[in-house]
Structure 1
Amino acid sequence: MPLIDIHVLEGVFSDEEKAQMISGTAKAFGAVAGKTMEQMISVRVHEVKSGHWGGSESIWTTNRALEVKAKG
């Protein structure tokens, strides 16, 4: 039973967008693994607190992510 975890910064995506992530990810995986397997896929969206994620160059924040998201 595949389990797929998606991590995003809190407050960047609406509940509807997270639902679309879950459904779309399961369907995409199912397109590769097969329809029978698709029904057994579990997808979780985890929200990480703003400022608790980053890389070597910067700490990522919800405000910055919203700016990037707005640019498309």
Structure 2
Amino acid sequence: MPFVDIKVIAGVFSAEEKRRLVESVSEAVIAVEGEALRPVTHVVVTETPSGAWAIGGTAHTAEEVREKRATG
């Protein structure tokens, strides 16, 4: 029974983007594991508060991530 937890910084992704993430990741898992596992494949999005996510000791905010997304 696959369980995937997608962790993101709160305020970066819209509800529609999170829905697409869940659907796309679910389909990717099912493509590997097989259609029989569709009913037991779980994918959730967990949001971490802005500023509480650090990489290499540097905390990042939703605004910083949104800026990076905008510049591609």
Aligned to 2:11: 11
Aligned to 2:36: 36
Measured in 2, the distance between the counterparts of 1:40 and 1:69 equals: 32
Aligned to 2:53: 53
Percent identity between the two aligned chains:
36
Q: How far is 1:2 from its partner?
A: 1.2
Q: How far is 1:38 from its partner?
A: 2.5
Task: Name which of structure 1's ranges 3-12 and 56-65 shifts more when overlaid on structure 2.
Answer: 56-65
Q: How far is 1:39 from its partner?
A: 2.7
Q: Which amino acid aligns with 2:10?
A: E
Q: Which amino acid aligns with 2:18?
A: K
Measured in 2, the distance between the counterparts of 1:56 and 1:25 equals: 27
Aligned to 1:20: 20
Runs of 4+ in 1 over 6 A off after TM superposition: none
The count of aligned residue pairs is 72
Q: Which runs of 5+ in 2 are unaligned?
A: none
Measured in 2, the distance between the counterparts of 1:26 and 1:20 equals: 10
Measured in 2, the distance between the counterparts of 1:37 and 1:71 equals: 38
Aligned-residue Cα RMSD (Å) equals: 1.0
